[in-house]
Amino acid sequence: MPDVLWRVFQQNRALADALPVHAANAIKALAMAKHALSSGVIAFLHTFNGQLEFNSHVHTMVTAGGWRASSGSWVPSVYYHPDILMRLWRSAVLELLRSALRSGTLTMEMTVNEMEAMLTEQERWWSVKIKSIDSIEHFFQYSGRYARRPVIAQRRITYIDKQTVKFWAKDKRSGKIVQIRCSLESFIDLWVQHIPKRYRHAVRYFGLFAPRAVSQMFELIFAAIGHKRRPRPTPPRWADSRKQMSGKDPRLDQTGQQMNWVRRLAPQASV
């Protein structure tokens, strides 16, 4: 979306949190209207750029094909026209802001007339990029990167003391690495604005990936494509996961002996 809207969504975080829903609805509407198919969508809300500015946008992953309910079959490939998808996404975002403006719930620095004029100016070309995912490994690399991505990697912070923080970022316009310097308080403020509220999911599932649709549709979809759905794998034990990540068995002490675990019982009140 245009950068003039970043500040608006920064001041109205609840509206920014609603962006994944509108992104998924735009994709589902295109698949249904153009191809009469139901698709599955996974959406990630991303609110920052390299300079840690509030840059709200949505990364989505959608099934390459879709389910055709009329014939009970799976269509393996669907073309998502970028221009049509851009118009649907643009319309959804602008209508979201206009609805908040009409209801008087939009926090803004402009007057109502100035905001309406600014929103009208944004009815122009928006950047919508569509790329294909080539493999399962690529899928997990992409999704894992955005599901729990930290605001800034530690390697980008080059200097820090009690007053100053320096970090580098890539300037998208020039393609060069630039050094950014700010106070410690400013750095914390930049970081905090991107922390989602408690219980706010970083990953959202829609369409065929929605929990109810998974339980109702996946058996039919797998049968239609001639595959048997695999059972859910057994989660690994906590100790085994720690050993795999760190190389150390948390059940062993410093001498390599098995530790004896003692269960602590809450003290009982005396009568």
Q: How far apart are CA 19 and CA 206, in angstroms?
A: 13
Residues 6+ apart with CB under 8 A from 25: 92, 206
pLDDT digits (tens, 9 = 90+) for 142-158: 888 777 778 898 899 99
pLDDT digits (tens, 9 = 90+) for 216-233: 888 889 888 888 888 888
Please choose, from the candidates 189, 187, 150, the residue with its C-alpha nearest in 3D space to the C-alpha of residue 165. 187
Structure tokens at 1: 């979306």
Q: Give pLDDT, residue 95.
A: 96
Indicate whether 247 belongs to any domain.
no
Shared domain check, 99 and 55: yes
Rounded mean pLDDT, 175-198: 90
Q: Give pLDDT, residue 266.
A: 63
Structure tokens at 78: 């669907």
Q: How far apart are CA 143 and CA 221, in angstroms?
A: 23
Amino acid at 101: L
Q: How far apart are CA 121 and CA 115, in angstroms?
A: 10
Q: Which domain holds residue 161?
A: 152-193
Shared domain check, 220 and 137: yes
Indicate whether 111 belongs to any domain.
yes
Shared domain check, 24 and 50: yes
pLDDT digits (tens, 9 = 90+) for 36-90: 999 999 999 999 988 999 999 999 999 999 999 999 999 999 899 999 999 999 9
What crossing angle do the helices spanning 82-103 and 19-35 adopt, rounded to 10°? Answer: 130
